[in-house]
Chain A
Amino acid sequence: MRVLAFDTAMPACSVAVVECGGAGAEILAHRFEPRARGHAEVLMDQIAETMSDAGVGYSDLDRLAVTTGPGTFTGVRIGVAAARGMALGTGLPLVGVTTLEALAAAGAGLTGGSVAAAIDARRGEVYVQCFSNDLTPLSEPCVVTPADAADVLRGHTPLIVGTGARIMRDVCGEAAGFTFDAAAPELSDACHVACRGAVKPSDGPPPSPFYLRAPDAKLPQRKDG
């Protein structure tokens, strides 16, 4: 199955065209560029260049995949809105993959055991979820303090990957049975989004952003209560 995937949910912009088959995955073309902002400007050129490198057109694809978050709200919307526009324009199936799952997929090869993706959510919190080595979820995705994240992960003794790994290490060290690996990925990458996207059902509603946080909005206080 040939998948075009991209990811703008974290401080990077990545695009990949991957042939995902039973025997494994062959990356036909891939771009990964660390960047804190400007995803909306560069994404289309990156996709066009990656497609051109892969030597394929949109009619040669079997599906599209995009990260749905959690990550920056704006980054998540850039990716999901572009992907839904592209799906409408091509008629291709579109599937969503969370950044947590894409990160765990990247970390699974570094260990024989479970993998936890932890992403710096700022405001003193991390987005966190634990997976088995075959990427079966072992916990629900959540946004919590690092200390609470340690409670979520206790008992699974995972390898922790993602921008939140450093935070977790600072807060709980290796005492909790967690492992850290200097080679572990910090950011999600479109290659893993493609591979995870290839194994998901594609007949559901179009993917929605997965924010894990409610919008910051306060209801006005009624003066006359």
Chain B
Amino acid sequence: MSAQTKFPQSENRPLVVLGIESSCDETAAAIVRRDALGNGEILSNEVRSQDAAHAPYGGVVPEIAARAHVEHLDRIVARALMNASLGLDGVDAISATAGPGLIGGIIAGLMTAKGLALVTGKPFVAVNHLEGHALTARLTDGIAFPYLLLLVSGGHTQLLIVENVGQYTRLGTTLDDALGEAFDKTAKLLGLGYPGGPAVEREAASGDRNAISLPRPLMGQDDCNFSFSGLKTAVLHAVNRTHRDDPDLRADICAAFQEAAADCLRDRTGRAMTRFEARHNDLETPVLVVAGGVAANTRLREVLNNLCQARGYRLCCPPHALCTDNAAMIAWAAAERLAGGAADNLDVMPRARWPLDPDAEAVPGAGVKA
């Protein structure tokens, strides 16, 4: 981690921050304002998806993603400024995702931001992409620390306690695939195309979730970890046993898969709640924040909502556009760090891996991406 520089910032000044995100297959730039009270406002939020470029491959191809980011980043940043009706002189700081994720894309966004920061002399913040997801609920809903976070995306499946800016306790993570990845692989097995999440959810709507029996990996175990590769393999066997071109069977498989995933999330998150309460027993209404692209799934949301009601939690799901990869969350995380007086030097290293909780116990097989 590069040296931090002190950013001469007191809590009582509003901050306008430019954020850049390029750690997977979205090229994004946004301008966010954080006022003296800590309230956030999104002034612009530009995202250029590369879905079409990766769709033929059934998943994100890192080199294709990196190439596209370089080609579009400066234009997307210019558009974010224009749509916020701002010039760079109206921006107080520049930030970009420095990891974790696909290193080629991270480098492209990070270098664009560094170049901007160098020539403008503005403070620079290298943001952990996961911290962007973790703090989004404070931007959208003003959630106070501490809160429980379920991060479910194509690259990550983690349960964390968000104690403060830069302070996270990981309760559980996936031992193998992220849940979004499992959705994508299921879609691929069934020939539903990429990205798989929305496709599987669409199919599942007309399927019978009990028609096929699928495993619930790790359910009932004492920890808060996840595992989805066995579920994916079970889907493969189910597909091989049947005819994937039969639309009814396809829908049944999707519904059964989605239900198995929902059961896992409910069980694992329930356990995390118990641990969260043990650490913070003084909260009147504890909050569960669900972030990441998979949080868009209606059935998963419904299951988590029921869990929250049963346990006396408030459920906070930021709007979909702020759950999937975006730069508003990066700019916001940077603003939160700047408000605490922290900025980074321009020698920050791009990082493919960057755990939010570096002290978390190593989990065998986990932590490939974070």
Contact = CB atoms under 8 A, between A and B. Distances in A.
B107 interface: yes
B43 interface: no
B4 interface: no
B110 interface: yes
A217 B61 contact: yes
A111 interface: no
B287 to A, nearest CB: 37
B67 interface: yes
A74 B107 contact: yes
B340 interface: no
A89 B116 CA distance: 5
Nearest to B64: A215
Interface stretch (B70-78, B179-187, B271-279): B70-78
B133 interface: no
A213 to B, nearest CB: 10
B107 A40 contact: yes
Interface string B21-59: 000000000000000000000000000000000001110
A215 B61 contact: yes
A81 B118 contact: no
A88 B116 CA distance: 7
A47 B58 CA distance: 41
A32 interface: no
A85 B64 contact: no
Given A88-B78, A217-B63, A219-B56, A208 B114 contact: no
Contacts of A220: 57-58
Contacts of A85: 73-74, 77, 111-116, 119
B88 interface: yes
B321 interface: no
A84 B115 contact: yes
B192 interface: no
Contacts, number: 110
Interface stretch (B155-163, B290-298, B344-352): B344-352
Contact of A40 (B77, B245, B350): B350
A94 to B, nearest CB: 9
B116 A44 contact: no
A58 interface: yes
B21 to A, nearest CB: 14
Contacts of A138: none
A41 B77 contact: no
A43 B349 CA distance: 11
Given A81-B112, A85-B114, A208 B71 contact: yes
Interface string A15-56: 000000000000000000000001011111101100000000
Contact of A209 (B70, B73, B74): B70
Contacts of B119: 58, 85-86, 89-90
Interface in B206-238: none
B66 interface: yes
A-side binding surface: helix, strand, loop or mixed? Answer: helix
Contacts of A48: 118, 346
A83 interface: yes
B120 interface: yes
B350 A44 contact: no
A81 B347 contact: no
A79 to B, nearest CB: 8
Interface string B73-108: 110011000000000100000000000000110011
A44 B64 contact: no
B324 to A, nearest CB: 23
Contact of A45 (B57, B74, B347): B347
Interface string B240-273: 0000010000000000000000000000000000
A77 B114 contact: no
A10 interface: no
Contact of A86 (B104, B115, B245): B115
Contact of A81 (B61, B115, B120): B115
A12 interface: no
Interface in A42-78: 42-45, 47-48, 58, 73-74, 77-78
B63 A216 contact: yes
Given A44-B114, A44-B118, A44-B347, A88 B61 contact: no
A84 B74 contact: yes
A115 B70 CA distance: 31
A82 interface: yes
B73 A41 contact: no
A82 B347 contact: no
Nearest to B112: A85
Contacts of B64: 215, 217
19 contacts: A38-B349, A44-B115, A44-B118, A45-B346, A77-B70, A77-B107, A78-B107, A81-B109, A84-B74, A85-B111, A85-B112, A85-B116, A88-B112, A89-B115, A89-B120, A211-B67, A215-B63, A215-B64, A220-B57
Given A81-B115, A85-B116, A88-B116, 12 more contacts: A43-B111, A43-B114, A44-B346, A73-B63, A74-B107, A82-B115, A84-B112, A85-B73, A85-B77, A86-B116, A88-B112, A89-B118
Interface of B: 2, 56-58, 61, 63-64, 66-67, 69-71, 73-74, 77-78, 88, 103-104, 107-116, 118-120, 191, 245, 346-350
The 6 A-B pairs at the shortest CB distance, nearest first, are namely A85-B115, A44-B346, A215-B63, A85-B112, A81-B111, A89-B119
